[in-house]
Structure formats: C-alpha cells, structure tokens
Amino acid sequence: MADSSEVGGRKLKNVVQDAVEHWKSETESEAHQIFRSSAGHQAKTVMPQTVNPDEETVPGIIHPGSTGVIYCSDRASANGFRYATQHEWANLGQGAPEAGPIPGGSERPNSIPLPEESLEYAPATGVKDLRTAVANLYNETYRKAKASKYTHENVCIVPGGRTGLSRLASVIGNVYTSYQIPDYTAYDQVLASFRRLVPVPTVLDAEAKYALDIEKLKRDVEGQGFAVVLMSNPRNPTGQVIKGDKLKELVEISRDGATLILDEFYSWYVYPEEGEEFGQSVSSAEFIEDVNEDSVIIVDGLTKNWRLPGWRVCWVVGPKNLITALSQSGSFLDGGASHPLQLASIPMLDPTRVHQDKIALQKHFKAKRDHVLARLDALGLTAHAPPSSTFYIWLDLSSLPPPLNNGLTFFEELLKEKTIVVPGIFFDINPAHRRNLFHSPCHAFVRLSFGPPVEDLDRGLDAIERVLKKVEQGGTIGQGYKKAS
C-alpha cells in the first residue's frame, strides 16, 4: 500500500530514474552502506525481487532484518562493546529501564522459589493464579465501577512482549492492518513475517507532535476496511500518550468492526502535569464496556513497569475467545513462559505494592527526563515534542550540519565515543524495505533512552557534546567506521 501511494500515477520509467538518483545518496554515505550490508536490510527498490543470492545461501531461508536494538548492539560490538566491560559505555539505545533499586520503590527480588510444581511445564496460557492476579489488577485499577470484569479467562501469560505479538499475528486472518509511523521497531518484523497481515501505514505529523487523528482513523476503518489497528500507547519512540477522552474515542473504534491491539508496556511511565498527582497510569481497559464483546487486546508485562526485563513474563488481555486462540498458537510457537518466574510474579501484582512502585517510578524517571532535556537544550538539541510518557526522547537532528543530520551517521559517530543510540529509521515500520532511507520520515531522528542510571546518561550526553565540538572544530565526520568485530 505504501509503495502504490508513493508511485501514484507516475510512469514506471520515471520511478526507476528517481530510484537510481536516490540510491546515489545512500551510496555516498558510509553509515548507510554498512546498514544495507547487514543481513536482511538490502532494499527491494521499486522492482520485484526474489532473494539476494550472496546473502541467502540456505535454500528456502530469507533474512527478515534485525530490530533496531539488535542492529545497534551488533554495531557496538564491532566497535569494542562487550557486556563484561559495558560500564565503560553509555547505552542510551537500550529499550529497558534500569533494573536496580530506586528511591521509594519496593524491594527488588533477589531469589526465586522453586516449588516442586514449578519443575513441570506450565500451561501454554499461563499459571491460573498469575492470570487471576493480572485480571484483578486491571479490575482494581481501571474497572471498579464497571459491571463487566476481567477473569483469568481473559488473560494469557506469554514469554515476552514480542512473543505476545507473534502469537497474536499468527491468529489474525488475511486482513488490512493499520499501523503508524513512527512506532515500535519490532512491528516491522511482525508485519513482514506473518504475511496474512496486509500492512497499511499512516505517517504521523511531527508538527502535530505525533498525535493520532482518531477521526481519520475511524473513516479509514470504514472506508479502507481496516480489520486490525496496531499501535503502542504510550508511544515508543515519540514519548507521547493517548489518554482520557481521546483514548475513549479510540476504544470505541472496536465497536465498529475493527480489533485494536494496544501495546501498553509503558502504561506507568506517564508523567503528571501541573496539579496532577503521581501514581496515575493509562490503559484502554478503563474505557472497555464489555470485556468479552469489545475487540480490544492489551499487551503488557513485567518488562518495563516492574523493571524486570530479564524475567520475560508478560501477558495479553482480551476477550475469552481470543485467549483460547492464543493458547492454541502458543502451544506450537513458544510453549509458554517460565513456570518458576510466573509463580514468583504473583505477589508483585498486589495493587498496594503496585501503587507504591508507580509513584516511585514516575518521580525517578521524571527527574531523569528533565535532566536529559535540560542538558540537550544546553547543547542546542531541542526535543520539539518533549516526552510526556515512556523513557524515550525522539530527537530531531535536522538542524545539525551534514552529514551529522541523519540518525545513522549520528549513531556511527557516537559509537566512536562508546555511546549507543537508535537511528530513527528503525521506527519507520516499512515491512517491504522498499523506501529509500533518505526519504524516510524518521531519517533525521534518533531515539535516546533515559532508562539507564543517571551516571550512564551523563556519560552519553558528554559523548554527544564531544561529537558536536568535533564538528564545530572542523573534524572529520561521516567516515572511518569499523565494519566488523
């Protein structure tokens, strides 16, 4: 769909000429050529293409392309990054929050009980007691006044958010699936790998601070026949959030024949504005009328809010009929989450404990956000859409002198300074990999994470300052990048 709208009514000859001219820009950039040489990242251009014979040497196998975090980690390794010496680096690209203790938070887990029952397989849908605890937390937090309540039958435990998305994608039929640009990098691989989903993009407007036009989405659901709408909320990477009446309007779309899949992993990372209290969170669960009739699917887990990314304990919440389908797909896709860790997770979902941790998390991460924004502003790097949620800053580099004014080159220059960020192009959900990188609406951006501890953030910001001074003093930019570890 994206390609047809780009081509429009132009003659094929002109399209091919345009493509050749555009490739010249990528050819002249060392950072872009390194990206293209990575398995799965070669562009398909505007012409049909089968496989790359130099890359696909195993019959029947096609590389899907790596997610942003994996690509960035591989490039960092080529520049000397090792987990044994990661304290020497500033990882502002990580999609995980700091996992250690924070002021006011509950005690961090330091041991895992191993009752005999936990040595057996857990059900593909998850341990019933954990499913019940998840349902109760949503009811207590968002549905106290609702007649319709979640039960364990509305919850499926999955080994990670990506696995939850993969289970969902495997049970979706041949339908148009709406998604937005920019959004979470892993959606690219999900939409490309499960080919019964026909992806249809909408580019969010930077001038409107990436706000979703819900009225337009409603028209598209009816006019274009979208059966599934996929998005993160709060938004990764832009740090924006849909809440209140706007979120209510979005949920109402599920009653017009479309299924909403809402990735709510950052639901606690919502920072209060003037006069608001700490401890509030956001979820579509607040506006669902009937949990088994409204076609709204929530994906969340311990990874971000509970700051336990290594546990891989997450969940999908939705109508009972959906959970049955996810149980069936999980039985052949992944087999289910760790039994001991599921059992250990149950007490962490106690509503009193959760409220305490929400307040502690929001105070701590808001302070880090404000610190990073202030330092960036002092460097002349202003976030035009400052994050009101998540722990990411979507940083526009277009005002910098070329070639530093694009995400891939900025990323490579920072690797020289032992700092990792994520180039914006990874959030340009482009499953066919046809778009020229220089034409991507995300090309001039990077995502900075303020998930790490403050000392890591300052180390990375110091590195950014060194790169900017190097440019100011006429240093060499845009070349000399290490190709392999």
DSSP character for 227? Answer: E
What mean pLDDT do residues 141-159 have?
A: 98
Grade residue 434 by pLDDT with cuts at 50, 70 and 90.
low
Tokens of 350: 């106690």
CA dist 228 and 234 (Å) reads 18
- In 405-420, which positions are buried (b, 16+ CB within 10 angstroms) versus exposed (e)? ebbbbbbbbbbebbbb
Rounded to the nearest 5°, which phi and psi values hold at 445?
Answer: -125, 155
Tally of CA atoms within 13 A in the half-sphere of 89 that contains its CB:
22
Q: Tens digit of pLDDT for each residue in 168-222?
A: 999 998 899 999 999 998 888 788 778 778 889 999 999 999 999 999 999 999 9
Cα separations (Å) of 61 from 51, 52, 196, 223?
A: 9, 11, 18, 37
The four Cα atoms 429, 435, 438, 444 give a dihedral, to 10 degrees, of -10
Contact 26, 438 (CB under 8 A): yes
Closest CA to 426 of 236, 269, 260: 236
Grade residue 47 by pLDDT with cuts at 50, 70 and 90.
very low
- The H or E element spanning position 363 is helix 351-378
pLDDT at 39: 65
CA dist 165 and 156 (Å) reads 12
Grade residue 7 by pLDDT with cuts at 50, 70 and 90.
very low
CA dist 259 and 275 (Å) reads 35
